[in-house]
Structure 1
Amino acid sequence: MLLAIDAGNTNVIFAIFDGDELKTRWRIATDPQRTADEYVVWLRQLLDLNGLDVDAIDAVIISTVVPRALHNLTVLAEKYFRTTPLVAGRGDAKWGVALDVEQPDSVGADRVLNIIAAHETYKQDVIIIDFGTATTFDVADYDGAYKGGVIAPGINLSLDALVGKTAQLPRIALEAPDDDNVIGTTTETQMLIGIFWGYIAMIEGLVARTKAQIGRPTKVIATGGLSILFDDHTDVFDHIEADLTLRGLLILYQRATNI
């Protein structure tokens, strides 16, 4: 079985693949100082709870946008799974796709993995919206080449900034409003409307402008933990692929090992 690890700015996701099947996935808060020993205690308990044998893991691939987290994750693979991990974008796991931007080395690993997975499925121009710590909009053409994109503050970051930089605004739960009303009558509803519908307007506006610039039929793919929050309130998404980045890791592993 393959252990695929995606270390993001907020969470590290551990996923188990048995062939092409995603068996399960777990999240833990990103902490570059967390040791391999700490990881494995947590991971062994979750594997056991899911009836999975730790000794069945015979391959590891790691993607990270937090460089300081890579060392301990590598030690985890070598010490406890007795394997040298593949690292996305390096060595045998090089991307294999064109990064047609001015600074290709600065493109986050998760964004390239999303492009790889989306192109494998759709084989046409795509816009991928990833709702994470930041919200990213990435464009790939029909050949799978990365053409660029947009980086915007994630919706939680926006809410945190609004509350943190004001004296009297309360912290509110992030959720979809009960209706389509955009005139709030309380401070809390006004904040929720501003954050939620303001975010919808940003998404729809950027997608419309991006499609116009591409000028060809384009699929819009949403991914990331918060993507389902917006799905019932806009028709801008063609598909929601919750595990797009993990699928990209699997594809990269299969290409690197000729499986």
Structure 2
Amino acid sequence: MLLAADVGNTNVVFALYALLPDGGREIRARWRIATDPRRTGDEYAVWLLQLLAIEGFAREDVTQIIVGSVVPRAVHNITVLAEKYFGIEPLIAGQGAAEWGFTVDVDQPRSLGADRALNTIAAHAKYDGDLIVVDFGTATTFDAVDFNGAYKGGIIAPGINLSLDALVGATAKLPRIAIEAPRSASVIGTNTEDQMLIGVFWGYVAMMEGLIARMRNEIGRPARVIATGGLAILFDAHTDIFDAVDADLTLDGLAILAQRVTS
């Protein structure tokens, strides 16, 4: 089985993939832990090995490990986890045998983050034609992938939680609120909390719809919009801009990349 580790700025997500008889892949278990570059390989092992056992798996079930990371300092400790506790030299997405394998058509190809590269791989493998991939993470990214699977560039915007943090942190009296859909369809709030939620939530929806419309116009061909990340489902219920919501897109990119190496 393949153990894939998606190291983001906020969380590390581990997923255990089984290879199916038809050559497909299926996630059998997944676990999430807060990203901390100081967390050692031993600490990861104490946490992860217990969770494997709880789900009914043994460490011997893991035969391949791949790591995709936007936090370079975390890679070393997960490599220690792989080598010391599983006896496996992990694949590092974007390096060595696990190079991306697609055209990065931008000014600084090496600056492309691992998460966006993995989304490109998975989106092109799973969906046809030109694509716009929207990933709701610590930042929200919008990426253009052409019909040949080439990465053409994109947009980086503050994540909605970052926007809210800035709003609350820079003001003396505005309260902390939860990110959720406003209870009313009205965009004229009658109290402070509702006004904040309208501004943050509907403002974010308007930003997404506007940027995607501009990207589609610039691409000049029909482009499907694929959304991923934790808040994709929330926003999908309040806009028709997404053609598909794919929660496992980044993890699937890791699995596809690992399968390429072994095939």
Common fold: TM-score over 0.5: yes
TM-superposed CA distance for 1:229, in Å, is: 1.1
The more displaced of 235-244 and 51-60 is 51-60
TM-superposed CA distance for 1:172, in Å, is: 0.7
Aligned residue identity for 1:12: V
Question: 1:40-119 counterparts in 2 under 5 A?
Answer: 40-119=45-124
Secondary structure at the counterpart of residue 260 of structure 2: helix
Secondary structure at the counterpart of residue 220 of structure 1: strand
TM-score w.r.t. length of structure 1: 0.98
Counterpart of 1:173 in structure 2 is 178
1:123, 1:147 → 2: CA distance? 16
1:14, 1:150 → 2: CA distance? 27
Counterpart of 1:213 in structure 2 is 218
TM-superposed CA distance for 1:137, in Å, is: 0.1
1:44, 1:51 → 2: CA distance? 11
Aligned residue identity for 1:92: A
Counterpart of 1:9 in structure 2 is 9
- The Cα offsets for residues 183-223 of structure 1, whole Å up to 9 and x where unpaired, read as 00000000000000000000000010100111111110000
Aligned residue-pair number? 258
Secondary structure at the counterpart of residue 70 of structure 1: helix
- The Cα offsets for residues 125-163 of structure 1, whole Å up to 9 and x where unpaired, read as 000000000000000100000000000000000001100
Secondary structure at the counterpart of residue 42 of structure 1: helix
TM-superposed CA distance for 1:110, in Å, is: 0.5
Aligned residue identity for 1:161: A
TM-superposed CA distance for 1:123, in Å, is: 2.8
Contact conserved, 1:155 with 1:195, CA < 8 A, in 2?
A: yes
1:44, 1:226 → 2: CA distance? 29
RMSD over aligned CA atoms reads 0.7
1:50, 1:2 → 2: CA distance? 15
Question: 1:124-203 counterparts in 2 under 5 A?
Answer: 124-203=129-208
TM-superposed CA distance for 1:173, in Å, is: 1.1
TM-superposed CA distance for 1:5, in Å, is: 0.4
Secondary structure at the counterpart of residue 113 of structure 1: helix
Contact conserved, 1:98 with 1:146, CA < 8 A, in 2?
A: yes
Secondary structure at the counterpart of residue 142 of structure 1: coil
2:37, 2:15 → 1: CA distance? 19
Secondary structure at the counterpart of residue 16 of structure 2: strand
| Equivalent of residue 247 in structure 2, options 223, 226, 242 | 242
Aligned residue identity for 1:147: K
Q: Unpaired runs of 5+ in structure 2?
A: 20-24
Aligned residue identity for 1:47: L
Aligned residue identity for 2:49: R
| Equivalent of residue 44 in structure 2, options 39, 47, 51 | 39
Contact conserved, 1:123 with 1:143, CA < 8 A, in 2?
A: no
TM-score w.r.t. length of structure 2: 0.97
Runs of 4+ displaced beyond 3 Å: none
Counterpart of 1:21 in structure 2 is 26
Secondary structure at the counterpart of residue 227 of structure 2: strand
Q: Unpaired runs of 5+ in structure 1?
A: none
Secondary structure at the counterpart of residue 39 of structure 1: helix
- The Cα offsets for residues 74-123 of structure 1, whole Å up to 9 and x where unpaired, read as 01000001010000001100000000000000010000100100100113
Secondary structure at the counterpart of residue 82 of structure 1: coil
